[in-house]
Structure 1
Amino acid sequence: MDAQAHGAPIEAQVDQWRRYVARRRAIAPSDVDEMEDHLRAQVDDLRETGLDDDEAFLVAVKRMGRLDEVSREFAREHSERLWKQLVLVPEGDLGTERTGPRWRELGVVLALALGAGLTVKGGIAVLGPDSMALLRNSSLLVLPFLGAYFAWKRRLPVRGVVVLVAVFALLAVVLNGFPFVPGGSTEVLAALHAPVVLWVLVGVAYVGGRWRSHDGRMDFVRFTGELVVYYALLALGGGVLTVLAGALFALVGTDLEPVLEAWIFPLCVPGALIVAAWLVEAKKDVVENIAPVLTRVFTPLTILLLVSVLPLLAGAGGLTDVDRELLILMDAILVLVLCLLLYSISARDPLAPPGLFDVLQVVLVVAAIVVDGVMLAAMLTRIAEFGVSPNKVAALGLNLVLFAHLLRAAWLGLGFVRRRVPFGAVERWQTGYLPAYGLWAAVVVVAFPLVFRFV
């Protein structure tokens, strides 16, 4: 922190310090304001003794103590704000003022989870379990409930709620009102890209309507990664429980499979998403400790995967001969690279100096750029050879969006490793570019069916 702060204007130094403190989950925003006031008072006092801005700032920060100790002190004084609580209600005799809101939030979560499950159950009954219409509407049946949870929790203004409901409704009209050719490419593309658009809307609710906030967008990136971890854990636990229950019922001559297919899966799979989101909100630091481990394990493995794929692409013959399924799999790998990049940045100490892992991140992004470049060349060659189709244009557009994102990320990452670019610039680029993916997904959902005449 000292190395990065030294030489910067005092306001920039305080801003860096504030952002770092704000990411300590035990400290509420109002308390960050109080701590900043205290820090500024310390700086002013030290200036009067003859110290310059840099010296005054560094001494003031050291006088306030290590931030981890500050976090623990706030945790002790404000236990209701501590994220790392391992039970719903703390031990001891708590009054209704503390237990009431907790149980009320749990009740809201369970009601929304049940609502999502019943909506999916009704959707299956109306649309059919194997229909393309159900696939188109699957995210519409679940994600509005998650958006409603965050709109309630963040106290989203009425105007923001109206806008979100209107956009959800508009998307529902598009997905169900367009005369798609059954099984056509634009129908499949709309079904695959609609969840991206809806997830952006959930993000707007998550940040309480402050969609321009860089810190809010980064928090949503962090939440998304943590939600995947928690949902996977719930799915694994639920799978084990289901197997054990099936074996137990089989021993007494009862087949549990009809009940699983008709009720348990339709209710529990979507409901678990709402519960997982609540758990992330309630236990943030527990998962946040896992985040750096996951990124450090999978980053070098993904680099090896990308490097090993390049000879496969080179040995596939001409660019027009590259297998279509291979291009799809490579897109999935590039999206994984993007997720690793975002998650590692969200879990990183913004004031720590660049290290070996930052170098690995740059290597990962450069390898992804090379692979993406080869894929873009293959896609353009296939379009020139075989003509335009909705799938080809959608894949080309996604890879162009990814290529621009990764190219700038590599440039900023290299500058950070060389200590010529502050980490804040790297972080701001990642969150600032994210809406481009939602915009492209919206184009695919809304414009592609019209351009390609719903085929």
Structure 2
Amino acid sequence: MGTDAGLEAQIGQWRGYIQRRQAITAADVDEMEDHLREQVADLAASGLDNEEAFLVAVKRIGSVDAISHEFAREHSDRLWKQLVLVSTAPDDAGERSWHELAVVLGLAVGAGVAVKAGLALIDDEMVLARNLGLLVFPFLAAYFAWKRRLTWRVGVMLLVPAAVLAIVLNVYPFVPDGSTLVLAAVHAPVVLWFLAGLAYVGGRWRSGNRRMDFVRFTGELAIYYTLLALGGSVLIGLTAGVLDLVGIDIEPFLEDWVLPFGAPGALVVAAWLVEAKQNVVENIAPVLTRVFTPITIVMLLGLLVALTSAGGFVDVDRDLLILMDAILVLVLALLLYSISARDVLAPPDLFDRLQLVLVGAALAVDAVMLSAMLARIAEFGFSPNKVAALGLNLLLLVHLAWAAWLTGGFLRGRRPFAALERWQTAYLPVYGAWAAAVVVVFPLVFGFA
């Protein structure tokens, strides 16, 4: 059976929904998908086309699996989903076991203990900063490993790069407060996050559907972590205010215990909440993307006007260029999250056109920034910071330019939305590879300065 973008999109959507049911493990989902694909292949071999084969295969799986029934009930607007629609209520798969809660809380406390120990044992703030991610990563990865039932092979794929990263960060003879040291400290968490993604997808990083699941997870984790941080800040502020009125100063307690345990522990808890409350965030995600996309477009256009009217590119402030890089990364994150929240089979609409405007504005800003960076390099020469910033902007330029091309093709009806989705997930490892190069290679090239 040949490759069919529409079939892959339907299977990806089916898999994504099934994978979010809390009673179904990643291994179970893999087995179900393999079974579905076998059914489709057998039916296609008997003479059915891909769409017909998929309809019949989903019907057969739906007759024996309550998850498919639930999927059809929630998405009953298409024929293949209606085929498995039944009137009986699905089993409640939303209850988290006390066992999982105990594991999550244990890992959250473990992350807090690791950070607290790091604060107590490491006097140098820069050494602590570049090792902070290494202190938290094992506990988040352990949750994914436990949740996904990772094999030893995948475990080795996680441990070896993490160990190499730890050695590089602590053995390299960095110049104190040097540029390569700061760059390594900034990019190390990016490398660790991609390793966490490898654990999240169960070691199957080649699957575009699973990579998009991780994109979705990242956006939802940011939402939950922000909500936890805001809620915790309000609670701590009220408590501190009340105790201050009775003459008790809790600021030392907050600095010594609450923050070291709360910040890393909340990351593990937020990851669990994303897994446990997926349906709630699925309702929030489309709303957030539709609210922030037009706002971001206005912001980018304003920044574009400000940059072009700032005078000579050589005189553009370095801090401004760094801030603009951060804004472009946030724009890319919004684009990825918007794509991950979209129904791949829906026709083009006004929001898709807004997405194209967003990408076009980001491309214009990126082009101006690249001109400014090249002008500064021509005037002042190369440095680790300039090369790192230039490389990131070139990566963003390629990513956004091809995304704009594919979006335009989708709006004109020449390409399926699945092609745009595949491009986004296929390009993501490039950022991880670049971050690893900045950490490992840049210090060697620039003499650890």
Normalising by structure 1, we get a TM-score of: 0.86
In the alignment, is the contact (CA less than 8 A) between 1:20 and 1:351 conserved in 2?
Answer: no
Tell me, yes or no, if structure 1 residue 205 matches structure 2 residue 199: yes
Measured at CA, do residues 62 and 198 of structure 1 come closer, stay the same or move farther in structure 2, by a change above 3 Å?
Answer: closer
Quickly say closer, same or farther: Cα 1:152–1:125, change in 2 above 3 A: same
> In the alignment, does 2:111 pair up with 1:112?
no
**1:43 Cα shift?**
9.0
Name 1:252's counterpart in structure 2: 246
Q: Secondary structure at the match of 2:75?
A: helix
Q: 1:266 to 1:258 in 2, by over 3 A?
A: same
Within 5 Å, which residues of 2 pair with 1:48-127?
Answer: 53=49, 68-69=75-76, 76-80=89-93, 85=94, 88=95, 102-127=97-122
5+ residue gaps, structure 2: 63-71
Q: Distance in 2 between matches of 1:377 and 1:222?
A: 33
**RMSD (Å) for aligned C-alpha atoms:** 2.8
Moved more, 71-80 or 230-239: 71-80
Aligned partners of 1:55, 1:308: CA distance in 2, in Å? 46
Aligned twin of 1:20: 13
Aligned mates of 1:194, 1:333 — CA distance in 2:
20
**Could you tell me which of 327, 334, 344 is aligned with 1:340?**
334
Distance in 2 of aligned mates of 1:339 and 1:362: 15
CA contact (8 A) 2:115 2:135 kept: yes
Q: Distance in 2 between matches of 1:204 and 1:224?
A: 13
Equivalent in the alignment of 1:268: 262
Equivalents in 1 of 2:88, 2:133: separation in Å? 38
1:373-452 matches, cutoff 5 A = 373-452=367-446
Deviation at 1:16, TM superposition (A): 3.2
Shift of 1:427: 0.6
User: Mapping of 1:201-240 within 5 angstroms?
Assistant: 201-240=195-234
- Contact 2:205/2:211 (<8 A) preserved: yes
Query: For residues 103 and 88 of structure 2, what CA distance do their matches in structure 1 show?
Result: 26
User: Aligned partners of 2:159 and 2:39: how far apart in 1?
Assistant: 42
Aligned CA distance change for structure 1 residues 441 and 56 (closer, same or farther; 3 Å): closer
Partners of 2:246 and 2:422 in 1: how far apart? 59
Give the CA deviation at 1:9: 7.9
Cα separation, 1, equivalents of 2:51 and 2:329: 44
Measure how far apart 1:251 and its partner are. Answer: 2.8
Quote the residue 1:161 is aligned against: 155
CA contact (8 A) 1:10 1:53 kept: no
Kept in 2: contact 1:144–1:168 (CA 8 A): no
Displacement of 1:60 in angstroms is: 6.3
Give the Cα separation in 1 of the matches to 2:290 and 2:91: 32
* TM-aligned CA deviation for residue 14 of structure 1: 3.9
Distance 1:445 1:75 in 2: 55
Partner residue in 2 for 1:329: 323
State the AA in 2 paired with 1:377.
S
* CA offset digits 1:228-279 (Å, max 9, x no partner): 0000010011001101111222233211111111111101110000000011
**TM-score (structure 2 length as normaliser):** 0.87
**2: CA distance, partners of 1:267 / 1:273:** 10
- Provide the residue aligned with 2:183 in structure 1: 189
Is it true that 1:372 corresponds to 2:385 in the alignment?
no
Distance between the aligned counterparts of 2:382 and 2:38, measured in 1?
60
Deviations 1:119-149, CA, capped at 9 Å, x for gaps: 1111111113x71111111111112210111
Q: Classify the secondary structure of the residue corresponding to 1:104.
A: helix
Q: 1:436 and 1:264 mapped to 2: Cα distance?
A: 37
Note the residue ranges of structure 1 that are not aligned, 5 or more in a row: 1-7, 90-101
* Equivalent in the alignment of 1:94: none
Distance 1:13 1:194, change over 3 A: closer
Pair 248,20 (structure 1): closer, same or farther in 2 beyond 3 Å: same
The residue identity in structure 2 corresponding to 1:220 is F
Post-superposition Cα deviations, 1:347-377, rounded to whole Å, max 9, x if no partner, equal 1001001111111111111111111011101
User: Structure 1 residues 251 and 398, CA, compared in 2 at 3 Å: closer, same or farther?
Assistant: same
2:377·2:386 contact (CA, 8 Å) conserved in 1?
yes
Aligned-partner Cα distance in 1 for 2:191–2:87: 38
| Displacement of 1:20 | 2.3
Would you say the 8 A contact 2:300–2:361 is kept in 1?
A: yes
- 8 Å CA contact 1:150, 1:205 repeated in 2: yes
- Report if the CA contact (8 A) 1:113-1:275 is conserved: yes
- The structural deviation recorded for 1:72 is 8.2
Distance in 1 between the 2:285 and 2:210 partners? 18
Residues 314-352 of structure 1: per-residue CA shift (max 9 Å, x gap): 111111011112111111111111001100111100100
| Structure 1 position 21, deviation (Å) | 2.0
User: Contact between 1:10 and 1:57, CA under 8 Å: does it hold in 2?
Assistant: no
CA distance in 2, matches of 1:121, 1:416: 50
Measure the CA separation in 2 of the matches of 1:62 and 1:177: 54
State the secondary structure of the residue aligned to 1:79. Answer: coil
CA 1:57 to 1:236, structure 2 compared with 1: closer, same or farther past 3 Å? same
Distance change (3 Å), C-alpha of 1:54 and 1:246: closer
Deviation, structure 1 residue 40: 8.7
CA–CA separation in structure 2 for the residues paired with 1:43 and 1:167: 42
Equivalent pairs, count: 424
